Amino acid sequence: MNTATEFSYEAAFSRNLGLVSEAEQGLLRATRVALPGLGGVGGAHLQTLARMGVGAFTLADPDVFEVVNVNRQLGALQSTVGQRKVEVMARMARDINPEARIRSFAQGINASNIRAFLKDVDVVVDGIEFFQIETRELLYRACREAGIPVVNAGPIGLGASVIVFTPHGMRFEDYFGLEPGMTRAEKLMAFALGLGPGLKRDIDPRRVDLEAEKGPALASACMLCAATAATEVLKLVTGRGRLASAGQGVYFDPLRNRTCALRRRPSLTSSLRGRLTRWIVFREMHDLRRMHERELAERAAQHCTPVLKAAASA
């Protein structure tokens, strides 16, 4: 195996040439991609982009690999169970390209480190866990403020969606119909529906555990996500091709041999179509409905507490 001193970037990525030009390969080499989340899709994103010759990465993930990750996460091996994902994946990326410039955030991303995470970043590829909607909202707001495009490629059912959010295009919140006052259950529903029809067609709701934040996912869908996301990164870096921008995203459905366009979602709370959709989903997914009702009850209790205290002291 080549060591870092024997490594030749030009030789390692020479077979890219003919699909990308030498100048475009140079642009990829100079690009820094940030990957928040290194699980099912994040790890596949990293390996695909590393093999395309992207020269720098900023990685973030607070978790360690577990046995249950083996079915879909490229870094999850029997030899890596219990090891930090950022360390394993950084090691794999450097094994592909010893010249790769890598910064790691083993604590994940949060409000206190998001600016440092995005420093010198050209493109973000979203690999955040599906259930972490608050972290995802934080990321997209920060990227828009910093002028950084975000590629969202999610495994939904047996297929995959890809949507690109550019700094001057449609906002993440507007595309998915996220509004102030929505419960976490409503936000998760809106996010899933905006990614494509696979949520309703392919997934057995009995296998979704909202309390444990677990759901079914296949390696094939994760690999499809990586392929689409990496191509969008290539478009952004080289200026070639038409982006799958928000409002023109694409859902790939290999089970049915079809694709469909992804459009802006109607609001689940302020549109008739959205409220009907919400009612149907809550009827089919009892755990999601209970999460919604529990949050509404907690809000009501919090609102009543200061009123009762004021009345008692009057």
Query: What's at 287, amino acid-wise?
Result: D
Q: Is residue 49 part of a domain?
A: yes
Q: Is there a domain that residue 1 lies in?
A: no
Q: What does the pLDDT read at residue 313?
A: 62
Name the least confident of 41-50, 198-207, 265-274, 283-292.
198-207
Is the separation of the CB atoms in 107 and 76 below 8 Å? no
Question: Which two three-digit tokens encode residue 271?
Answer: 């549109």
CATH number at 248 reads 3.40.50.720
Average pLDDT of the chain, as a whole number: 93
Question: Is 127 a member of any domain?
Answer: yes
Residue 3 counted as domain residue: no
CA distance 130 to 60: 15
Contact 279, 186 (CB under 8 A): no
State the pTM of this model. 0.92
How many Å is the Cα radius of gyration of the chain? 21
**Comparison of pLDDT for 2 and 36, the residue scoring more:** 36
pLDDT for res 197: 75
Percent of the chain with pLDDT over 90: 81
Tell whether the model's pLDDT for residue 265 goes beyond 90: no
CB-neighbour burial class of residue 228 (10 A; exposed 0-12, middle 13-18, buried 19+): buried
Least confident of 21-30, 44-53, 200-209: 200-209
Residue 2 lies in a domain: no
pLDDT at site 211: 83
Residue 14 included in any domain: yes
Q: What is the pLDDT of residue 202?
A: 84
Ramachandran angles phi, psi of 248, nearest 5°: -135, 30
Q: Starting at the edge strand that comes first in sequence, how are the strands of the sheet with 56-60 ordered?
A: 101-105, 56-60, 32-36, 123-126, 150-156, 159-165, 249-253, 258-262
Q: What is the predicted pLDDT for the residue at 1?
A: 45
Instruction: With cut-offs at 50, 70 and 90, classify the pLDDT of residue 191.
Output: very high
Residue 117, both tokens: 């995470």
- In the numeric block, the tokens 């990164």 are attached to 233
Residue 287 counted as domain residue = yes
Higher pLDDT, 120 or 154: 120
The pLDDT-based confidence of 199 (bands split at 50, 70, 90) is low
**In the chain, how many domains are there?**
1
**pLDDT tens across 162-178, in order?**
999 999 999 999 999 99
Residue ranges of the alpha helices (H) in the chain? 9-12, 22-29, 40-52, 85-96, 114-117, 133-146, 172-176, 184-195, 198-202, 219-238, 272-284, 286-313
| Residue 61 near residue 38, CB atoms below 8 Å | yes
pLDDT, tens digit (0-9, with 9 covering 90-100), for 283-300: 988 889 999 999 999 999
Average pLDDT of span 31-41:
97
**Assigned domain for 155 exists:** yes
pLDDT band at 2 (very low <50, low <70, confident <90, very high): very low
pLDDT tens for residues 76-108?
999 999 999 999 999 999 999 999 999 999 999
Q: pLDDT at position 92, please?
A: 98
Instruction: Give the least confident one: 16-20, 53-57, 309-313.
Output: 309-313
Domain of residue 271 covers 9-313
